[in-house]
Structure 1
Amino acid sequence: MGLSRSEKLRPLLDAWEPHSVATTAHLKTLGITPQDLQNYTSSRWLISLGRGAFKRPMETVTWQGALYSLQAQLRLPVHVGALTALEMSGNSHYVRFANTKAYLFSPLNVALPLWFRTHWGDDVRHVQTKLLPPELGLTEQQAPEGFALKTSGVERSALELLHLAPKEFDLVEAGMIIESMTSIRPKLMQSLLEQCTSIKVRRLFLYLAERADLPVVRHLDPDRIDLGTGDRSLVPNGRYVAKYQLLLPKELVDHG
């Protein structure tokens, strides 16, 4: 004899990660049928967030909780990146004074579900890019709610940050953030730079790391990093860096 709907619901609610979402695909693996879901929602035991997603009543779901469900239940290749990942690492010198959206990164053609975009679309900025290989330089970090989220490590975050500069991050601010990255792992950064698809990002990281005299610079092999040809003008009326053929804000070039 099968379990009753109420008998199936109690273990589900007890095992539910706080502040997260349960997707229809996940519930199906637990033996929850569409008929069960109709009963649970009509009885207000579960609250629908749109097609394919549910939350517990009286519970606030954060973008972190919703993302956890995308990663753990739907296995979507989307991760926390750029400055948001750096902020999650607990380093206060990475935190900006202005409130910004959380940055999520994924390969091209990876779409976030409609229910996620409807409820948390204003909280996040989803960047679809082929900047870096999908898994290289990723790690896991604890969200405030206690569960682990897939995020960029410091090395990958640095390149994602520069990818968004200067359109979404000020270059001078980005330079200050790079300046504080004294614990970059050379082997991983070498691999990321070699496989990065952006000439701008490669040149910009190497210049900023050299400018800050970061320890990683002494362990990188620039001959294995393709820097392309031609100038890259990142700001109007800037200062030219001949070695890297970059036109940058004068604050990043002038010394003294």
Structure 2
Amino acid sequence: MSLEKEQKINHLLNAQPSGVVYLSSWLTENGFSTQLLNRYKNSNWIYSIGTGAWMRVGDSPTYQGALFALQRQADLNIHLGGKTALSLLGKAHYLELATKQITLFGGSNERLPAWFLKYDWGVTVNYFSSSFLPPKMGLRSLEQGAFNLLVSTPARALMECLYLTPQKQELVECYEIMEGLNNLRPKQVQELLMACTSIKVKRLFLYMAEKAGHDWFKYIDFENIDLGKGKRSLVKDGVYISKYRTTVPKALENYE
């Protein structure tokens, strides 16, 4: 391989953090043709972990490095959310000693690529695409090893948990998480509630915040939050909360 090509591949390998996945689409945009990538592969510089995804030789792929690529190279809004974000931020009610599964959220038109879905990351990946919240609202950067990844802030993460209730997330656990969120910023919560399109999420969030007795709750402006019309029932034989026109489990209403 010529000196010029070696310099080009060295620039490629040093352009991103160690352990990152390189997307073929991003490499093409930066001047690396499929033919050139195959030459690098044959020269033992890089190797493929699936169609459209490459690693530098000597690096082992992790879901963090793959997610970093989706966020920074593909400019996708896919991020760590729900209970995973809460756990990373120290806000989960039950902290796992070892991560066995992760929750990712993305926009309604965003999908995880086939190579991401097929690769064994050592954890179960739960992915949910939805537009019930604006894609870039309520996110923050969090250092994860060599990578800074976008994760949901506590308020958004809890709303994502509530979005999954009652089929994929226990309501009582959501309330236990809410109890610990006593230092949320009212302005940020207000913005998320005003932008949220899920009536269920907004009603449950406000119900739980009021039940928890958080000081920041009194600064929320209900008049600018659309709570919809009609009644909502999450469970059979539950307790009807007239203020929020929602039927919740008895275990939740009676939780102290």
Tell me whether 78-87 or 195-204 shows the greater mean CA deviation.
78-87
Residue number in structure 1 paired with 2:248: 248
Tell me whether 50-59 or 2-11 shows the greater mean CA deviation.
2-11
- Distance 1:86-1:47 versus aligned 2 partners, 3 A rule: same
Residue number in structure 2 paired with 1:131: 132
1:123 Cα deviation after fit: 2.9
Deviation digits for residues 64-118 of structure 1 (CA, Å, limit 9, x no counterpart): 1101001111111212211111112134646358965312112212122221122
Tell me, yes or no, if the aligned pair for 2:163 and 2:201 is still in contact at 8 Å.
yes
Q: Alignment partner of 2:149: what SS?
A: strand
Tell me whether 59-68 or 238-247 shows the greater mean CA deviation.
238-247
Q: TM-score, normalised by structure 1?
A: 0.90
Residue number in structure 2 paired with 1:84: 84
Residue number in structure 2 paired with 1:104: 104
Tell me, yes or no, if the aligned pair for 2:83 and 2:92 is still in contact at 8 Å.
no
- Distance 1:133-1:99 versus aligned 2 partners, 3 A rule: same
Q: Alignment partner of 2:119: what SS?
A: helix
Residue number in structure 2 paired with 1:158: 158
1:255 Cα deviation after fit: 5.8
Q: How does 1:100-249 map to 2 (within 5 A)?
A: 101-119=101-119, 123-143=124-144, 145-249=145-249
Tell me, yes or no, if the aligned pair for 1:63 and 1:120 is still in contact at 8 Å.
no
Matched letter for residue 117 of structure 1 = L
Mapped to 1, the partners of 2:215 and 2:104 lie a distance apart of: 29
- Distance 1:207-1:114 versus aligned 2 partners, 3 A rule: same
Tell me whether 14-23 or 2-11 shows the greater mean CA deviation.
2-11
Mapped to 2, the partners of 1:98 and 1:214 lie a distance apart of: 31
Deviation digits for residues 193-224 of structure 1 (CA, Å, limit 9, x no counterpart): 11211111111011100111012211101122
Tell me, yes or no, if the aligned pair for 2:104 and 2:125 is still in contact at 8 Å.
yes
Deviating beyond 6 angstroms after TM superposition, the runs of 4 or more aligned structure 1 residues are: none
Matched residue pairs, number?
254
1:5 Cα deviation after fit: 2.6
Deviation digits for residues 165-194 of structure 1 (CA, Å, limit 9, x no counterpart): 111111111110011101111011111111
Q: Alignment partner of 1:13: what SS?
A: helix
Tell me, yes or no, if the aligned pair for 1:162 and 1:174 is still in contact at 8 Å.
yes
Mapped to 1, the partners of 2:97 and 2:180 lie a distance apart of: 17
Mapped to 2, the partners of 1:113 and 1:192 lie a distance apart of: 28
Q: Alignment partner of 2:127: what SS?
A: strand
Gaps of 5+ in 1: none
Deviation digits for residues 15-69 of structure 1 (CA, Å, limit 9, x no counterpart): 4412210112332354433232111212332111222210123422111110100
Mapped to 1, the partners of 2:34 and 2:72 lie a distance apart of: 21
1:132 Cα deviation after fit: 0.8
1:229 Cα deviation after fit: 2.2
- Distance 1:80-1:255 versus aligned 2 partners, 3 A rule: closer
Mapped to 1, the partners of 2:7 and 2:255 lie a distance apart of: 70
Tell me whether 153-162 or 84-93 shows the greater mean CA deviation.
84-93
Matched letter for residue 157 of structure 2 = S
- Distance 1:125-1:244 versus aligned 2 partners, 3 A rule: same
Answer yes or no: is 1:46 the counterpart of 2:46.
Answer: yes
Mapped to 2, the partners of 1:27 and 1:162 lie a distance apart of: 38
Matched letter for residue 140 of structure 1 = S
Answer yes or no: is 1:64 the counterpart of 2:67.
Answer: no
Q: Alignment partner of 1:150: what SS?
A: strand
Tell me, yes or no, if the aligned pair for 2:91 and 2:180 is still in contact at 8 Å.
no
Q: Alignment partner of 1:124: what SS?
A: strand
Matched letter for residue 61 of structure 1 = P
Tell me, yes or no, if the aligned pair for 1:104 and 1:127 is still in contact at 8 Å.
yes
